[in-house]
Amino acid sequence: MSIAKPIRRYRQTKVVATLGPSSSSPEMIRRLFEAGVDVFRLNFSHGSHQDHGERVRAIRALEAETGRPIAIMADLQGPKLRLGRFADGPVTLTPGQSFCLDLLAEPGDARRVGMPHPEIFAALVPEAELLLDDGKVRLRVTACGADFAETVVVSGTKLSDRKGVNVPGVVLPLSPLTAKDRTDLDFALDQGVDWVALSFVQRPEDVAEARKLVAGRAALLSKLEKPQAIQHLDRIVEMSDGVMVARGDLGVEMPPEDVPSIQKRIIRAARLAGKPVIVATQMLESMISAPAPTRAEASDVATAVFDGADAVMLSAETASGEYPVEAVSIMDRIARRVEGDPLYRTMMDAQHADPEQTESDAITAAARQVAHTVKAAAIATYTTSGSTTLRAARERPEVPILCLTESAAIARRLVLAYGVHAVPTEDVQSFADMVHKAARLAYVHGLAKEGQRLVITAGVPFGMPGSTNILRIAWVEPPSRSQNHAEREQDARSRQPMAFADA
C-alpha cells in the first residue's frame, strides 16, 4: 500500500463548510477537503436523514483513506416561527395601516393573517415589535391577547406566505428543541457526529436541556443568534463546548451597527473560556453565484481571523452555490494571508487572557512563551479529554499545536480548535515515551524538520483530565533504523489510509 502524503494546513484558523445539493458527492467532499475544509456541517433544516447519512459515510470513508481526523457538525433547525398563508397571494401593506395577527387557520388578506404560534401571543406586550420576512416588514403591537395581536405597520410594503417572524427583545417560552430536532438529534448521534449545533438559544437553561439529551456523545455548540442570549453570554459560553456567532438572525433582531461589536464580544468571551468559536453567516455570500467574492466580503472574513476566531464558516456558498471549491479556496487564502501579517501576531499577543492561578494555566502560558523564545516548530500536547489541548489553543500560539490522543472521538472534536493538528495514537506509558512519540510524529506529519525544537506539555499521571503540569523541550529527529518494529509500524500507519476506531 502506498504511503499517503501527510496533510497539514498552513493556517491556524479552521474552515467549516456546509454540505448540500452542490456538495454531496464523495468526489466533491474530497475536493472540498483538499481545498481546505476542516469541519463539515450538516444542516438539518434541509435534506433527509438518508441524505445526511450518505454524507457522513462519505466523510468517514475519506477520513479513513487520508488518515486525518475530520469533524462533522449536525446543525439542528430549532423552532421556525412563520406566518400562515394568504388567500390571493402576496398582499400590499401601507406604513401606518392596521394589521392583525391571530390563531385562525383561514388564509389571510391585507388586513389579517394567521400566526400559528400561541407562544408568541403569550409573550407579547403593547409596543413590542414584530419583524417579518427578515425584517423587511416591521409591525408595532398596539393591543394583544392570548390569541391575537393588533398592530400598526411601521415599515414594509409587501408580505407573502409563510414568512419568518422575529420578536426582538422578548424571551419566548419555547424550548430550542422541537419534536423534529429531537428526532434529528437521535439520528445524528447514532451516526457518530462530533459536534451538535443548537439553534434558538435564549437562556442557559436551553443549553442544559440539550446537554442532557446529548449525554456526552458529542460536543455541544450554542448558536448565538438571539439578542436575549447575549444577556447571558458568559453563562452560556461556560455551559457549552463551543459557540457560533450566527450573524443572520442577530442582524435581524438588533440594529446592524451593533453586530460587529457583539461579534468581538462573543469571540473574546469564548477565548477567555478556552472554548472554540465560529463566525458564520453571509461571509462570502456573493460566491453563491459568482466565482470571486466582493472586497467587502474578503474584509469580513479577514476581520473574523484578526479577531482570533477559531473558525470561519461557509453556508449556502458550499451547500447550494455554483462555486463551492472556489469559496473554500479563497477562505483558506484569506486566513493564511491574515495570519502572515505582522499586525495579526501583534493583535493575538495583545489579547492574551491572564492565566488562572493553577499549574495547568501556568504551564500552558509558559509553553507559548517558550515556543516563541526558542523558535520551536510546534507545541505538542497529550490529552485524554481535550482540556490540555484546548488550553494551549486558548493561548493562540504562533506555531501549530500537535495533539496526541488515544481517542479518535476527541481528535475529531479538537479539529475545530485553533491551530490544532490532532493525531489519534496508541496510549503512552510514560512521559519519556510521550516525548519520544511527539518528536517522531511532529516530523512524520510535516510540523517540524530535523533539528528543530518541540515544546511539549502533558499532565502526569496520565488519564487525569485538566492536570497539565509538565513542560519539556525536545529536539526533532527523523524516524531512524534504530526504531523498534512497533514504532516503525505506527509511523507508517500515521501516514497511510487508516480506519478510525473510537476509543
Closest-CA residue to 441 (of 392, 404, 412, 398): 404
Look up 183 and say whether it is catalytic: no
* Cα(312)–Cα(304) distance, integer angstroms: 7
Catalytic member of 151, 281, 364, 405? 281
DSSP per-residue string spanning 206-246: HHHHHHHHHTTSSEEEEEE-SHHHHTTHHHHHHHSSEEEEE
Helix intervals (H) in 307-407:
316-319, 324-339, 342-350, 359-373, 387-394
Extract the C-alpha cell encoding 279: 463566525
> Has 493 been annotated as catalytic?
no
C-alpha cell at 174: 419555547
* CA 100 – CA 145 distance, rounded (Å): 12
Examine the residue annotation and report whether 264 is marked as an active-site residue of this protein: no
Alpha helices in 351-407 (DSSP H): 359-373, 387-394
Degrees to nearest 5, angle at CA 128 with 124 and 133: 95
Choosing from 82, 337, 472, 493, which is the catalytic residue? Answer: 82
Q: Which of 11, 68, 163, 223 is catalytic?
A: 223
Cell of 47: 435534506
Alpha-carbon radius of gyration of the chain: 24
CA–CA separation, 447 and 376 (whole Å)? 10
Confirm whether 265 is a catalytic residue: no
Residues 89 and 83 sit within 8 Å (Cβ to Cβ):
no
Could you give the CA distance from residue 262 to residue 175 in angstroms, rounded to a whole number? Answer: 24
d(CA 225, CA 30): 31
DSSP state of 290: S
Question: Which of the following is catalytic: 11, 41, 55, 368?
Answer: 41
Question: Can you read off the three cell numbers belonging to residue 143?
Answer: 393591543
β-bridge partners, 243: 222, 277
Residue 417 half-sphere exposure, CB side, CA atoms within 13 Å? 33
How far is it, in rounded angstroms, from Cα 299 to Cα 309? 14
**Cβ atoms of 470 and 457 closer than 8 Å:** yes
Q: Which residues contact 276 (CB under 8 A, 6 or more apart)?
A: 221, 241, 242, 243, 270, 310, 311, 390, 393, 416, 417, 418
Query: Which residues belong to the active site?
Result: 41, 82, 223, 281
